């Protein structure tokens, strides 16, 4: 069947595809070590679930305003002021079905055909495709592991053109776990200051921080706040991936445009989820602290284990919950008579024969790397490490 031309540039999400294959193997009874998931293994806090149950019982099951219940938009403003020292009013906030929808709506609202968006690589897989879907052109600006994945201001300056409408910042980052320092953010701010574009900050992993402090670019460059769009959500910090709750705060005109997109597509995020989100944002944060402390231990265990394997090298991520391992030293070796030349081939062999699901770096703009999440139990991480050692030992 003939499908729209704009779909031709879109790739299915590699992470979702790999997860689906891993799940299919598990369904057949295979003992798969899944290190591909992008979601916490913790359960949603009980007080959040209770708020949803109360919403259901009280019949709060109807449409809300497209941009979200007024109390929730106010709670988002309070959160942004308290946690991030960023001031927004409720009419500058739109509540969405996940952080993904915030970003998607932003690109739909901002871009005309051929407009450009600067994205740093390695990047979260969905950014370039979302830009394509809106008719825009992603412009990839590489960063280097040696620099802690901090973008080079000079490279940003060179990439900016009269068509650049937006730049996407993601710290802590998926897939690298890198966190931008004050100096890095100041460098980015200086590079874009004189260029009229929107700064989209994807702060989804804000709370998943193991060292240092979280800073939004608006904190180091208050003069840029009028063109700042903050995208965030509850998926990762409150272990609520399935609930679908995100939000964005930014310039009124852009928020209105995003609301228009949402008006004519999904309407409001689930009313029940919104009640749960209100409880989460107004409630205690001790569940987040407990989760982060546990993830820190798992990170240390897993990254140390990876670095102990000859041919694998892994930088300690400062945030998020992914280990991005450099496997370039393994490429060129052969497995079962076939020379492995890409991390995609390596991931496939790992999954098929060693039952470890790790995502290849290629779709993240990081060939030669594999991404593994450490949001699984220590026993499973140890099992994964053992299988990785066995895999490397089987290479020739």
Kindly list the residues in this chain that would bind ligand PLP in the complex (CB under 6 A): 38, 98-100, 124, 170, 174, 202, 204, 233, 235, 241, 246
CB of 176 to ligand PLP, least distance (A): 11
CB of 59 to ligand PLP, least distance (A): 27
Report the DSSP beta bridge partners of residue 228.
Answer: 199
- Residue closer to ligand PLP by CB (options 16, 260) is 16
CB of 138 to ligand PLP, least distance (A): 15
CB of 155 to ligand PLP, least distance (A): 21
Is the bond preceding 122 in cis, omega lying within 30 degrees of 0? yes
Cβ contacts of residue 225 below 8 Å, gap of 6+? 86, 87, 218
* Residue indicated by tokens 């309407």: 267
- Residue closer to ligand PLP by CB (options 246, 384) is 246
- Residue closer to ligand PLP by CB (options 321, 335) is 321
* Residue indicated by tokens 């592991």: 145
CB of 391 to ligand PLP, least distance (A): 26
- Residue closer to ligand PLP by CB (options 137, 241) is 241
- From residue 267, alpha-carbon distances to 68, 94, 244, 264 in Å are 9, 11, 13, 7
CB of 218 to ligand PLP, least distance (A): 18
Q: 128: buried, middle or exposed (CB in 10 Å: 19+, 13-18, 0-12)? A: buried
d(CA 144, CA 150): 7
Give phi and psi for 51, each to the nearest 5: -65, -35
Q: Which residue is nearest to ligand PLP (CB)?
A: 98
Q: Check: CB of residue 257 under 8 Å from CB of residue 229.
A: no
* Residue indicated by tokens 């904190």: 219
- Residue closer to ligand PLP by CB (options 239, 309) is 239
- Residue closer to ligand PLP by CB (options 174, 268) is 174
CB of 205 to ligand PLP, least distance (A): 7
- Residue closer to ligand PLP by CB (options 92, 170) is 170
User: H helices within the chain, ranges in order?
Assistant: 14-27, 46-57, 70-84, 99-110, 126-133, 153-159, 182-192, 217-220, 252-263, 271-282, 286-307, 343-354, 378-394
* Residue indicated by tokens 């496997």: 327
């Amino acid at each position: 069947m003939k499908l729209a031309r704009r779909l031709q540039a879109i790739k299915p999400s590699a992470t979702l595809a790999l997860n689906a294959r891993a799940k299919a193997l598990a369904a057949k009874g295979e003992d798969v070590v899944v290190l591909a998931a992008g979601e916490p293994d913790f359960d949603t806090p009980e007080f959040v679930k209770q708020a949803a149950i109360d919403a259901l019982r009280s019949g709060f099951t109807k449409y809300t305003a497209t941009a979200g219940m007024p109390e929730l938009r106010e709670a988002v403003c309070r959160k942004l002021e308290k946690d991030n020292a960023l001031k927004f009013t409720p009419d500058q906030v739109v509540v969405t079905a996940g952080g993904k929808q915030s970003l998607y709506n932003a690109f739909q609202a901002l871009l005309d055909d051929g407009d450009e968006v600067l994205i740093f690589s390695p990047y979260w897989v969905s950014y370039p495709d979302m830009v394509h879907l809106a008719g825009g052109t992603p412009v990839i600006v590489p960063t280097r592991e040696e620099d802690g994945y901090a973008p080079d201001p000079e490279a940003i300056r060179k990439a900016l053109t009269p068509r650049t409408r937006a730049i996407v910042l993601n710290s802590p980052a998926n897939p690298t776990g890198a966190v931008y320092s004050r100096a890095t953010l100041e460098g980015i701010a200086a590079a874009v200051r004189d260029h009229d574009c929107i700064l989209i900050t994807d702060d989804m992993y804000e709370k998943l921080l193991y060292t240092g402090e979280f800073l939004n670019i608006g904190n180091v460059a208050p003069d840029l706040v009028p063109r700042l769009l903050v995208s965030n959500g509850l998926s990762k910090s409150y272990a609520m991936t399935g609930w679908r709750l995100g939000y964005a705060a930014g310039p009124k005109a852009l928020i209105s445009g995003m609301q228009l997109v949402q008006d004519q597509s999904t309407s409001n995020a689930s009313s029940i989820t919104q009640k749960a989100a209100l409880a989460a944002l107004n409630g205690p944060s001790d569940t987040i602290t407990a989760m982060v402390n546990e993830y820190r231990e798992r990170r240390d265990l897993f990254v140390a284990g990876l670095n102990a394997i000859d041919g694998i090298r892994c930088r300690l991520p400062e945030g998020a919950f992914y280990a991005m391992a450099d496997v370039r030293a393994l490429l060129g070796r052969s497995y079962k008579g076939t020379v492995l030349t890409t991390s995609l081939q390596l991931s496939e062999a790992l999954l098929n024969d060693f039952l470890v699901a790790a995502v290849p770096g290629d779709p993240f703009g990081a060939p030669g790397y594999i991404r593994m999440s450490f949001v699984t139990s220590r026993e499973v991480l140890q099992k994964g490490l053992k299988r990785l050692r066995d895999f490397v030992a089987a290479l020739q």
